[in-house]
Amino acid sequence: MTLINTPFILSILFTILTVFSSCNEQKNTNATPLKLEKKSIGKTVYELDSKATLIYQDKNNNYWFSSKEKGVYKYNGKNLILYTSKDGLISYSILGNQEDKRGNLFFDTPDGVNKFDRQQFTILKIIEGENEWKLEPNDLWFRIGWNNNGPYRYDGKNLFHLKFPKSQLEDEFHSKYPNISYNPYGIYSIYKDHKGTLWFGTSSLGIYRFDGEKISWMYEKLLTETPEGGSFGIRSIIEDKEGYFWICNSTYKYKILPDKTVDNETNLINYKREKGIENNRKKNLYFMSMTIDNHNDLWMISYNDGIWKNNGKELIQYPIKNEEKEILLFAIYNDNQGNLWIATHNDGTYKYNGETFEKFKLTIPK
């Protein structure tokens, strides 16, 4: 009878397994790591919503159309992708679009700020109660809703909520409107001029201006008076090639005087109001949005009275017509190639063809 040396056999098996395992580990170490497929978000669609109220073109020349009812559309010239709350979009009421130096996109809404890193949407956490009034070149500035006092500054890591110093008009405003439901400091527009100075247009207390050192302000009824009476707040601010500021209307233009002349006690902006360009049909046209084209002409849109071009000598009207309904205009945008776009509240988007604005139609094969 042959005896089996069990310890000896087990020793041999252990040696074989060890050598095999070592070779296998060496093989795996030299192998190319497995690349996990990134999950794509968004849904391919074939038409834009009629309520695409904002237009933005990123550094890669993708267009982003913000819809009040459907979400955010991305159009790359071939495909149209719709992003919704299912993809992490916090709100469909988009107030502004921005992009940082890394290519991340940001959408400010009444409910917060969405960051999109091209893969997913996240929500920026807000830090309250810290005095972070600074002006750095790469900072992004947001307005979250229309009812908050002050802007939101993002330094690449943190989103700070800043508050305006008290206006001399605040007590008078609340005395006149004791039951008002909105915040008179609410921001309707943010504009950065050629010096990098920030301008904040408020709902009822004029304009705040931050130059990196101090916050100053200006107010007068002529800024936002409308033909029908009343005021819609400061919704548009722009600086022309000659350094004049146009604020909501074309009747007046404003020259900001040197900072050393500012009243240090009241922090009032020292400015000079000059005659602008009046329209023979209507006085004090109110403009929702403004931009400057590549020829330095100033384009301005009214809510329901068409588009107007200020060439420095006259106002030229470009009506937007639809036989079935009145078209309500919301924003004008000059893209990376110098093309002018119009976003409306109820009739989609329009694009300037060099002579007139025509309805923009996507050509996406199904």
Residue 301 has which token pair? 């849109």
State the pLDDT at residue 11: 45
Q: How many residues does the chain have?
A: 366
State the pLDDT at residue 264: 56
Residue 28 has which token pair? 């795996």
State the pLDDT at residue 282: 62
Number of neighbouring beta carbons within 10 Å of residue 143? 23
Residue 332 has which token pair? 């004008």
What is d(CA 63, CA 222) in angstroms, rounded to the nearest whole number?
A: 36
Q: Are 107 and 114 in contact (CB under 8 A)?
A: yes
Q: Are 197 and 211 in contact (CB under 8 A)?
A: yes
**pTM, whole model, 2 decimals?**
0.86
State the pLDDT at residue 115: 98
What is d(CA 263, CA 260) in angstroms, rounded to the nearest whole number?
A: 8
What is d(CA 312, CA 34) in angstroms, rounded to the nearest whole number?
A: 61
pLDDT tens digits for the chain (366 residues)?
Answer: 444 444 443 344 344 334 334 434 433 444 444 444 456 899 999 999 888 889 999 999 999 999 988 999 999 999 999 999 999 999 999 999 999 999 999 999 999 999 999 999 999 999 998 889 999 999 999 999 878 899 999 999 999 999 999 998 899 999 988 998 889 999 999 999 999 999 999 999 999 999 999 999 999 888 877 766 677 899 999 999 999 999 999 999 999 998 655 555 678 899 999 999 977 666 678 899 999 999 999 999 999 889 999 998 899 999 888 877 889 999 999 999 999 999 999 999 999 999 999 999 887 766
Domain borders along the chain are 40-111
State the pLDDT at residue 84: 96
What is d(CA 99, CA 114) in angstroms, rounded to the nearest whole number?
A: 12
Beta strands in 49-120 (DSSP E): 52-57, 63-67, 71-75, 80-83, 96-99, 105-109, 112-116
State the pLDDT at residue 227: 64
- 307-310/315-318 β-pairing: antiparallel
